[in-house]
Structure 1
Amino acid sequence: MKLLFFSSAFCDPCIETRAVLKQVEQLVPAATIVELDVAAHNDEAERAGIRSTPTVVVLDSDDTEVFRAAGAPTVNQVLVALAKAV
């Protein structure tokens, strides 16, 4: 399972999201978290239909999107989303 974290440099909710995802990474070592700054990865952000940051996209083992959330999530919200990817 993979989490794509679309962020931007001057986004306060992105700072919160980064901290949440660090906690999730400790709780679920099997989860791969990839942070993509939308300025540096504009093409990928456009392909994924990202309209705001932060946005977290959860992919299953086939890289199929199973969950998407804009805004800063809680640890519990991310854990529930990861459960959908199993």
Structure 2
Amino acid sequence: MKFIKALGVGVVVSVVALVAIFIATFVTNGSFSIPAFISVESTTNASGAPETSMFFNPLGPLALALAAAAVVWLASRTKRTSPQQ
């Protein structure tokens, strides 16, 4: 697999992870934080309506995308170069 395709997979993994974190904190009415990368907090206001705020550093998802791309790319190279049994 070429690295560009692996980077596409990494971007998809990163976006899915952000959406999953956002939905999980919204449903559980909780909070999630990784310092310097992402902070999600879900509460209810005075009238009982849910409020969710999300702040993230764009470098966090970018780093996750690059890490996932590297893992996928290296795994595909290892699979391709391993001897067939």
TM-score for the superposition, normalised by structure 2: 0.25
Tell which structure's C-alpha radius of gyration is larger.
2
TM-score for the superposition, normalised by structure 1: 0.25
Task: Report the structure, 1 or 2, having the larger strand content.
Answer: 1
